[in-house]
Amino acid sequence: MTTPVEVRLAATVMLVRDGEQGLETFMLKRNPKSEFVPGQFVFPGGAVDVKDQLTHEVETVSSGMDDVQASSRLSIENGGLAYWVAAIRECFEEAGALLARIDGEDLALTDPEVHQRFQEHRDAVYAGHLTMVDLCRAEGLSMNFHDLRYVSHWITPIGPPRRFDTRFFVARSPRGQRPAHDGGETVESCWIAPKEAVNLHQAGKFEMILPTIANLEPLLELDSVDEVMHWADGLSDIPEILPALVTAEDGSPSVLMPGEVGYEEALSQPPPHGSTQ
């Protein structure tokens, strides 16, 4: 009998900015040697950590959200604030962008000495030596939940050896910071227009997995960060999306989305043998 794969809670952030040619989003290329989606372009994100779930401590260093509000937004009873914390932590770890405020203003890292100090903080958070709560207390910061918008909910289909229950967020990139890949889990980074990312993907030059592509699609017709935030603020009753893996006629695995013909049947069948995507 096959042992069920643990479904881990996770959070992902689409950082957006107004570029010279219009809306851009920050994307990272995962290390080709990684076990999980190697070589794919993704948004900053990762699993929710136990320390992200220390609700009472988090609320002492937060701006714009408490656990009751966060949980209501996610349509869960409690513990929702951990997703917001994970989103900010992962964005800091993977992209070096910290969604935080100091003295009521967005944190800026333009001063070289401050930037270096926060790079050391970034390394310490990644290594597990420093929590986001301790970082905020040490630097007099509050985590900026106010500007973090929840936009979608995806669950990895049954079959892959790693599965995630992921909440996707969108956030305005802090103006006084320059996101960059970490050189370990991620090896490249770029600011790219959503349309360009999709076009390059279709041309086979920019590899992305289905949830990444699907979360870019609503941005294709939006021209600015303000439009993105207005769109995100209008979302309600965000559905849970659980794709189903099936075997195509040629023997290759394919994906069915909720509502497509054969989807319900596919969910009740064993996943394609050896599926990993």
- Longest CA span, the chain: 60
C-alpha distances in Å from residue 68, one per residue of 8, 11, 56, 73, 212 = 22, 18, 11, 9, 28
Could you tell me which residues are beta bridge partners of residue 246? 254
- Mean predicted confidence (pLDDT) in 10-23: 96
> Cβ(195)–Cβ(25) under 8 Å?
no
| Residue range 257-276, pLDDT digits in tens | 898 888 888 887 766 654 44
Q: What is the pLDDT of residues 139-158, one digit of tens each?
A: 999 999 988 999 999 999 98
Query: What digits encode the pLDDT tens for the residues 68-94?
Result: 999 999 999 999 999 999 999 999 999
- The order of strands in the sheet holding 100-102 is 62-63, 142-144, 100-102, 105-106
Checking if the pLDDT of 133 tops 90, the result is: yes
In the chain, the amino acid numbered 156 is T
Model confidence, pTM:
0.92
pLDDT tens, residue by residue, 188-226: 999 999 999 999 999 999 999 999 999 999 999 999 999
Going along the chain from its start, the domains and CATH numbers come out as: 7-241 (3.90.79.10), 243-277 (no CATH)
Residues of the chain above pLDDT 90, percent: 71
pLDDT at residue 273, as a whole number: 54
